[in-house]
Amino acid sequence: MALLGSLTQQTSAMKDTSLNDTPSLDTPEKQGLFSNVTSNPLFSAGFGLIAVGAALSLFKKGTTIGTSVLRRKLLVTLEIPSKDKSYLWFLQWMSHNAPKRQVNHLAVETSFKQHDNGSVSTKFGLVPGPGTHYFKYRNIWMQVQRQRDGKMMDLTTGSPWETITITTLSRDREVFKQLLHEAQEMALKKQEGKTVLYTSYGPEWRPFGMPRKRRLLDSVILDKGITDRIVNDVKAFIGNGKWYNERGIPYRRGYLLYGPPGSGKSSFIQALAGELEYNICILNLSERGLTDDRLNHLLSNVPERSIMLLEDIDAAFTKRSQSDNQGYQSMITFSGLLNSLDGVASAEERIIFLTTNHVEKLDPALIRPGRVDLKEYLGNATDYQIKKMFLRFYDDEALADKFVEKTRGRDISTASLQGHFVYYKDKPQEAVDQADSL
């Protein structure tokens, strides 16, 4: 009751004060009232709590502001979005350089290597996974945060948006540039003197396996004059953008290589890419889930300095007509393909190679001039090719002529010739003696 009584007293006292314009403690009653209030243990405890709370929140705010000021003054951060080229370079660099003990959460990046004999070796690259990592670079500690945004998507790739944030002390900001340079150099060194093969991955191009050693042009032996014709044509085309531009012609050139399997079509394109120091983007038109839109997007966004290769171009549509009910997955239409080929307009030159084993199955619309500007037949080995191939393996002109005599008039693919010479490696006489086994 006493408690209630004193509370009513306080409220009425407060009411009194609020009624007064300028509350003062000049009268003895008021002074008594004030001391009453302050001496009340409950009331003063309440005030105390409020004051402590306010002080704490002020302190908290102060420290937050303080920390952010300190952070701003002392720390520097670098943000690399997943869209940026440096993103993969940095991850690869980190997987090589940050000692594994410093990074506990890893993600795997698998790369495939296909050898010439067809065997495949797989390499697992361990890169820092999403989360926070610490590592030391040139004796400077750094914090790396790899964050994945669950909601945001990179619209060009369809993959989740990611950012890497690197934080270090302000005074060490110069080290970022060195680090990025190092990462870039490391990535480019891997590709130096090599040909990168890209395949489509959803709507984007991704390197397929490790970059391959460049294939030398003279390692692919085509019939007389063909190599020169194609190489000269491509070289004349490259760097001639002004001519096309002035005439309003799309800056692209199409090539068709046709002929039986094993005549060196793919090998030649690989060697040509090596000669031009270009990479190759391979697209299989029979690929599952390929639609006209995706095809269009892929053809319009080919990585720079790349040859676009559409292999076995006849297969996509013949399969479609044969096996509509058999789960054939590709959704592209013939007109979609034509549109994509025609629509490829870009400031960069576009070199497109089509290959087929069955030129007779191709719709004439697909290979009319403008879409295909140069057609070359790569057939079974001619005398010229047989002799040249023999001499590449064995340095014996007389035996080479004998070998040509023995194989004349037979349909032998250059691929099987190569197999024969590899089998009789260092045994030219036996290679000639056993020519009938081809």
Q: Which residues bind ligand ADP (CB under 6 A)?
A: 220-222, 261-267, 414-415, 418
In contact, 36 and 13? CB cutoff 8 Å: yes
Q: What does the alpha-carbon distance between residue 172 and residue 140 come to, in Å, rounded to a whole number?
A: 8
Q: What does the alpha-carbon distance between residue 213 and residue 113 come to, in Å, rounded to a whole number?
A: 11
Which residues, 6+ apart, have CB-to-CB distance to 180 below 8 Å?
86, 89, 90
Our CB check for ligand ADP shows the closer of 221 and 290 to be 221
- Token digits of residue 10: 């306080």
Nearest distance, CB of residue 394 and ligand ADP, angstroms: 15
Amino acid at 202: G
- Token digits of residue 125: 């690259």
Nearest distance, CB of residue 174 and ligand ADP, angstroms: 49
Our CB check for ligand ADP shows the closer of 266 and 330 to be 266
Nearest distance, CB of residue 312 and ligand ADP, angstroms: 9
| Chain residue at closest Cβ approach to ligand ADP | 264
Length, in residues, of the chain? 438
Estimate to the nearest angstrom the gap between the alpha carbon of 220 and the chain centroid.
30
Our CB check for ligand ADP shows the closer of 127 and 431 to be 431
Our CB check for ligand ADP shows the closer of 183 and 417 to be 417
The DSSP code for 24 is -
Q: What does the alpha-carbon distance between residue 94 and residue 160 come to, in Å, rounded to a whole number?
A: 21
Our CB check for ligand ADP shows the closer of 33 and 283 to be 283
Nearest distance, CB of residue 418 and ligand ADP, angstroms: 5
Cα–Cα distances in angstroms (integers) from residue 130 to residues 154, 161, 225, 253, in the given order: 17, 12, 55, 43
In contact, 189 and 145? CB cutoff 8 Å: no
Our CB check for ligand ADP shows the closer of 263 and 296 to be 263
Our CB check for ligand ADP shows the closer of 86 and 414 to be 414
Nearest distance, CB of residue 393 and ligand ADP, angstroms: 11
Nearest distance, CB of residue 264 and ligand ADP, angstroms: 3
Nearest distance, CB of residue 415 and ligand ADP, angstroms: 3
Return the residue matching tokens 């290597």: 113
